[in-house]
Amino acid sequence: MMDVRAVIRSQYLSALAMLGQTIERCPVELWTAGRAPFWQVAFHALSYADLYLQPTETDHVPRASHRWDTAMFRGDPGALYSQADLLACLEHCRAEVARLVPMLDPNEADPGFYWLRDREIGKLELQFYGIRHIQQHCGELADRLGQVGIEIEWVSRQP
């Protein structure tokens, strides 16, 4: 029988590995460019990854080193997070996957987040929702990098 928690863990870590590639490979000139700067999109993806890994919204504790715009989780517009800052966030998310996914009850009907309850999303579906969110923004960032000739490798699974 397949261990669903192991699959969830593997796919979270795979999505985070791909996002990590985009952060590591982003050239300086793209980091702050555009209406939604590269760093801000990556920060947003990591912020929601951290949030949706938690059992409930009240269990989420924003990292002390980050200022939060709680309405959009896009970070303080006056802030500029470095690649090192976001790679530290990425490591925090990886640690949260390792810590929290083994305790996940995939049969729990309540997602733990009031704004998702009316969508009838349970805990298992929330994990797919969170992984898809990471990948959607990873794809966006990989596309920006691809336009300047920088490729991202596909990560199919993580042990």
CATH number, domain with residue 117: 1.20.120
**Rounded CA separation 43/142 (Å):** 15
Query: pLDDT value at position 77?
Result: 56
CB 146 within 8 A of CB 8: no
pLDDT at 101 over 90: yes
Distance CA 68, CA 63 (A): 9
Does the pLDDT value for residue 15 go beyond 70? yes
The answer to whether residue 107 sits within a structural domain is yes
- 98 in any annotated domain: yes
pLDDT of residue 66: 53
Assign 9 a pLDDT band (cuts: 50, 70, 90).
very high
For residue range 115-130, what is the model confidence (pLDDT) as tens digits? 888 888 999 999 999 9
Residue 71 domain-assigned (yes or no): yes
Helices (H), the chain: 4-25, 28-31, 38-53, 83-100, 114-117, 123-146
- When divided into structural domains, the chain yields a total of 1
Contact 93, 49 (CB under 8 A): yes
Write out pLDDT tens, residues 27-79: 999 999 888 899 989 999 999 999 999 999 889 877 655 555 543 455 555 66
Instruction: Evaluate whether 11 touches 3 at the Cβ level (below 8 Å).
Output: no
Question: Is residue 109 a part of any domain in this protein?
Answer: yes
In a domain, 60, yes or no: yes
Residue 117, SS3 per DSSP: helix
Flag whether 155 is in a domain: no
Give the structural domain span for 110. 4-146
Q: Is the pLDDT of residue 90 over 50?
A: yes
The answer to the question of residue 11 being in a domain is: yes
Residue 158 domain-assigned?
Answer: no
